[in-house]
Structure 1
Amino acid sequence: MLFELLLIIIVLVIFGLKSVKILRPYEKGVIERLGKYNRTADSGIVLLIPFIEKIVKVDLREQVVDVPPQEVITKDNTVVVVDCVIFYEVVDAFNATYNVVNFYQAITKLAQTNLRNIIGDLELDETLTSREMINTELREVLDVATDKWGSKVVRVEIQKIEPPQDIVEAMSKQMKAERMKRASILEAEGYKQSEIKKSEGDKQATILEAEATAEAIKKKAEADKQASILRAEGEAIAIEKVYNAIHEGNPDDGLIAIKYLESLEKIADGKASKIFLPLESSGVLGSVAGISELFKDNKE
């Protein structure tokens, strides 16, 4: 009796485990009845008919496929090793269950094939500098192909693109040469700019010096002009005073003759061998003769 009761309990437990299933929030369940698709269940508690219905759980979270590295030949016949990862998510549980046997293997092979096609149309330099373009183009191709598998390719990322070692060394030398070339160009440009600045400085200094010299000459000329004006004004005043003094003193012919003789004495002191006298000197000499007579009379 106890054995029969225990057997009944075991059978009820088995039926309970077979009839009740729990789906997580990120899962959906594809339910088959007698080997035929019946319905798709959402998350929560799912009741099944034991031994008649079967459930297949499908994970809807974003998943990652690491595509193994592979050798790919570029358009210019260079072998490169390419490694990429694929991010996808299931959007249709029915198609993901019934339209593909091994999704991981299928998408891996599909990615490797399309990588060969995409990179085969690019040269080595384009391959190394066009990762974003390769990512976008590969994602579009895989997204179209996986649509019937109930999955969506979210993004594709190229992890690395490795050229052969000899190509890497050649590229390193080329980059070094380019850096040295740029350094030489920058040094030459710096020297050129320095010389230009120096020439402009010399030019500016010469201009400033010339302007200073011109200003000094102008100032000196102004000073000489003012000195000449003052000198002329002084001489004019002196002449005017002498003139006034002469007229105020009312000089006679004898005084004028004496002054004339004093002037002749100064003229004769020069080194010239010939002396030119004005025409009026005859009249003055006559006055001199009169003066000599005057002195004689005084003696007498």
Structure 2
Amino acid sequence: MDLIYTSEQIFTAVVTALVIALLYKAFKILREYERGVIFLLGRFYRVKGPGLIIIIPFIQQMVRVDLRTVVMDVPSQDVISRDNVSVRVNAVIYFRVIDPQKAIINVEDYLQATSQLAQTTLRSVLGQHELDEMLANREMLNSDIQEILDTRSDGWGIKVSNVEIKHVDLNESMIRAIAKQAEAERTRRAKVIHASGEMEASGKLVEAAEKLAVEPNAILLRYLQTLTEIASEKNSTILFPLPSDLLSGLFSDKRQDKDK
């Protein structure tokens, strides 16, 4: 009797363990940001969650899907720009799953697929622009890449919300060439500004000459003013030109005195 009683206990324990295992398989808890894609005998059944859900063990299977935004770093890519400049560019993309059914059924691994799509799109889009556009128009490039990724990943249930180009790395020779170009551009601007200033100054000088020509004695006042400014500097020797009209007038006065 003791042997039979022991066998019954073992059977009861085994059945209890099986029931507990079935209950563990049947009851699932999904967090607020999770969804469960349910398959019934291998065929898609429905999407459940969040909270407590019940599935039939061995008949139904569940795949968890995280709906939170994923921040993915795109590895550095070697890009040849449209003006044949080799650069290395890396970026970061922000995306999330908006349709768990498509994310599980339409693509094998939506994370890997999105990463590869981002790398190829980054190379193809940047290859259509020149280096100056990559450096100056990043917002436009980010928008173009984000739009392309969002359109192509729509069939996977993925929503790409943002793309940011982080670094555009150049080799040393290209950095020196860009520095020379910037220096030449600044020199050109300085020459243009200087020439513009000379043109404005010449116009003002013409106006001043016209006004001085109307009243010849005005030039004498300018000479006296200039002499005053030079004297304030306390120079030891001052060479100051005199108008020939003043000298001729002085000489004419002396001749008249001698004639008398």
TM-score normalised by L of structure 2: 0.69
Question: Is 1:95 the equivalent of 2:105?
Answer: no
Q: CA deviation at 1:155?
A: 0.9
Residues 145-202 of structure 1 show CA distances to partners (whole Å, capped at 9, x for unaligned) of: 11110111111111111233211111123324444565677788899999999xx9xx
- The aligned residue for residue 123 of structure 1 is 130
Q: CA deviation at 1:85?
A: 1.2
Q: CA deviation at 1:114?
A: 2.1
Question: Is 1:83 the equivalent of 2:90?
Answer: yes
Q: Which amino acid aligns with 1:116?
A: R
- The aligned residue for residue 57 of structure 1 is 64
- The aligned residue for residue 54 of structure 2 is 47
Distance in structure 2 (CA, Å) of the matches to 1:115 and 1:24: 34
Distance in structure 2 (CA, Å) of the matches to 1:40 and 1:106: 22
Question: Is 1:70 the equivalent of 2:80?
Answer: no
Distance in structure 1 (CA, Å) of the matches to 2:125 and 2:52: 46
Q: Which has the larger radius of gyration?
A: 1
Q: Which amino acid aligns with 1:16?
A: L
Q: Which amino acid aligns with 1:37?
A: F
Q: Percent identity?
A: 41
Q: CA deviation at 1:143?
A: 0.8
- The aligned residue for residue 30 of structure 1 is 37
Distance in structure 2 (CA, Å) of the matches to 1:135 and 1:20: 44
- The aligned residue for residue 279 of structure 1 is none
Aligned to 2:178, the other structure's residue is in SS state helix
Q: CA deviation at 1:140?
A: 0.9
Equivalent pair of 2:104/2:110 in contact (CA under 8 Å) = no
Q: Identify the range of structure 1 (77-86 vs 7-16) with the bigger mean alpha-carbon deviation.
A: 7-16
Equivalent pair of 2:77/2:123 in contact (CA under 8 Å) = no
Aligned residues: 209
Q: Which amino acid aligns with 1:51?
A: F
Question: Is 1:148 the equivalent of 2:170?
Answer: no
Q: Which amino acid aligns with 2:32?
A: P
Structure 2: which 5+ residue stretches go unaligned?
1-5, 222-260
The equivalences for 1:100-249 within 5 A come to 100-179=107-186
Distance in structure 1 (CA, Å) of the matches to 2:33 and 2:189: 56
Distance in structure 2 (CA, Å) of the matches to 1:21 and 1:55: 9
Aligned to 1:7, the other structure's residue is in SS state helix
Q: Relative to total residues, which structure has the larger helix share, 1 or 2?
A: 1
Distance in structure 2 (CA, Å) of the matches to 1:195 and 1:24: 79
Distance in structure 1 (CA, Å) of the matches to 2:106 and 2:153: 10
- The aligned residue for residue 231 of structure 1 is none
Distance in structure 2 (CA, Å) of the matches to 1:194 and 1:19: 91
Q: Identify the range of structure 1 (23-32 vs 127-136) with the bigger mean alpha-carbon deviation.
A: 127-136
Tell me which of 12, 15, 24 is aligned to 2:22: 15
Q: CA deviation at 1:53?
A: 1.1
Structure 1: which 5+ residue stretches go unaligned?
214-300
Q: Identify the range of structure 1 (166-175 vs 108-117) with the bigger mean alpha-carbon deviation.
A: 108-117
Cα RMSD of the aligned pairs, angstroms, is 3.1
Residues 38-96 of structure 1 show CA distances to partners (whole Å, capped at 9, x for unaligned) of: 11102010011122111111111111221111111111111111111111111111000
Q: Which amino acid aligns with 1:101?
A: E
Q: CA deviation at 1:8?
A: 2.5
